[in-house]
Amino acid sequence: MKSAPNLILVGPMGSGKSSIGRRLADRLGLSFVDADREIESATGAGIPLIFELEGEAGFRERERETLLRLCRTGPQVIATGGGAVLRADNRRLLAESGFVVHLDVDLENQLRRLASDRTRPLLQRPDRGEVLRRLGEERAPLYAEVADLHFPTGGGSVRQAVEQLVELLHQSWRISPLPSTETKL
């Protein structure tokens, strides 16, 4: 059983890091923070504008700085951006700073969940499926490298995913005190 101050959610776009993370934090009595929203708040700009002005490299540097700050506090639930694992220093930081859950989703569900989303810079192309497939192939080994727990989110509701995750976390992760599974969503 791993003891760590933060519960960190990694995974591809559309895997449920924010929606599951928010409800999971409520269920566990922890605060929730979305790293991408923190970047937007700190800069006063949306991620698409940051990508436009600074490129992906500039965004990734802001992401690294944000993760450093977030990982120093806790306990909390942290939802990372899908590409947070691209940098080796981020993977090391995440692994050392929390219990990392890889929320995974298959391409079909990912495409369905992201069908109307026009805010993600890497998906502003006509070949969204191909982009997601390529990103998945590139990033899956990196998620696996850092993850303490792999959890597929393709089927069922957010509520069901949270209930299943809470049970798995009671078996695998330890913070003091870990809330009872009797808590209602």
- Local confidence band at 176 (pLDDT 50, 70, 90 cut-offs): very low
Cis ω for the linkage preceding 121 (within 30 of 0): no
* Percent of the chain with pLDDT strictly greater than 70: 90
* Residue ranges of domains in the chain, CATH in brackets: 2-173 (3.40.50.300)
Average pLDDT over residues 54-70: 95
Average pLDDT over residues 101-110: 90
What is the residue-averaged pLDDT of the chain? Answer: 88
Distance CA 55, CA 36 (A): 15
Q: How far is CA 15 from the centre of its chain?
A: 8
Distances (CA, A) of 78 to 68, 102, 110, 129: 12, 12, 21, 27
E-only strand ranges, 68-142: 76-79, 98-104
Tokens of 22: 């928010």
Q: What is the pTM of this model?
A: 0.87
pLDDT on residue 183: 45
Distance CA 21, CA 77 (A): 6
